[in-house]
Amino acid sequence: MELKDAVALVTGGGEGIGRAIAEALMEQGCRVTITGRREALVSKTAEDLGLDWILGDVGNEADAIRTVKSVIDQHGRLDILVNNAGYGMFKPLVETTLEEFKGVYATNVLGAFLMAREAARQFIKQGSGELINISSTSSLKGSAGRTAYGSSKFALRGMTECWRDELRRHNVRVMLVNPSEVMTNFAAKAGVEREVSDKKLRSREIADAIVGALKVDSRGFIPEFSVFATNPF
């Protein structure tokens, strides 16, 4: 697709992968809006990059509806939704509470569903659209301590396949992106310490891969791809 002047909405755009995606899309000439739950963080990123921002929680239905509507009201359309908002919680099964489990799903699954639903309504109306779901290599293989997070990404992968089949007849491309470990504060917020390594991925690698996928002519698309560090050891 032609990215210049395309209208893009990036959830969880205040930091990490979301911020890198927003910046990369802006560099391509997109009109970008980011959203997130932490006002200070989202507004600072918007100021730094010179883009629009909306405060909201993707897992809250009213916020999701308001966010997508605001972008459409401002620009008259929506071309790209990047479902990036998400967080991790890594604990053994027997130590995971129901509240913690529901919290992960509220953002990683229900939030992605709500944002995709609202964006898809506009995509169908205009006969085009790009829906990018940021998943994880945890969606490819389960592992110990990832009952909540890993299963939420399996769920996102399943929803992506359903949306892809449903929306492609409306010229909507639905893509799933599976980053491997990226050097952001994602792990720290989940309570896992990670040593900084020059060999590990940075957010920009994920952003560049997404830009490349979006630039594929709209007659075709890349349904799913994973991004791994070449030699992380």
Sign of CA dihedral 133, 82, 65, 87: positive
The neighbouring-strand residues paired with 10 are 34, 82
- In one letter, which amino acid is 36? G
Confirm whether 149 is a catalytic residue. Answer: yes
142: which DSSP letter? Answer: -
Q: Report the distance separating Cα 148 and Cα 145, nearest Å.
A: 8
Sign of CA dihedral 7, 64, 181, 43: positive
Spell out the alpha helix ranges (H) of the chain.
16-27, 39-49, 61-75, 98-105, 112-126, 147-167, 186-189, 203-215
Q: Report the distance separating Cα 35 and Cα 55, nearest Å.
A: 6
Q: Which of 149, 154, 163, 186 is an active site residue?
A: 149
Label the pairing between strands 80-83 and 31-36: unpaired
* Residues with catalytic function: 149
